[in-house]
Amino acid sequence: QVRLVESGGGLVQAGGSLRLSCVASGNRFHINGMAWYRQAPGKQRELVATTTTSGPGHYTESVKGRFTISRDNAKNSVYLQMNSLKPEDTAVYYCHADGTFLSMSRAFHSWGQGIQVTVSS
């Protein structure tokens, strides 16, 4: 299995910034896509931003211009720089990765455990 561990969440005032990190670990795997999702209380999980081995892909409309996703392929890591945070950004943020196990040529989809981001007004 591929394990994802997030870090960097916490409490911040509106207008502030946070940087989330996610690192993947496991045996002999290749990651294709990495992404950040979030789930606010009482709401469905939504896609925030995606990235491929080539660079950033999609941003959900509500975070465009404020959030930046980046990736370090050598470290199997993905980051989410969040600026100009708003109370409505409050949610549990999840890292996701998809790819293949090299020894088995089998695909995987993995989720992190989630990390809380709280933005106070």
Residue pLDDT tens, the chain, 121 long: 899 999 999 999 999 999 999 999 998 999 999 999 999 999 999 999 999 988 778 999 999 999 999 999 999 999 999 999 999 999 999 999 999 998 877 899 999 999 999 999 9
pLDDT score at 104: 78
End-to-end CA distance of the chain: 40
pLDDT score at 69: 96
pLDDT score at 36: 98
Is residue 52 classed exposed, middle or buried when 0-12, 13-18 and 19+ CB atoms within 10 A define those classes? middle
Dihedral of alpha carbons 11, 14, 17, 19, sign: positive
pLDDT score at 87: 97
Measured CA to CA, the distance from residue 71 to residue 79 in angstroms comes to 6
Local structure of residue 64 (DSSP, 8 states) = T
Burial 17-51 (b: 16+ CB within 10 A, else e): ebebbbbbebeebebebbbbbbeeeeeeeeebbbb
pLDDT score at 103: 83
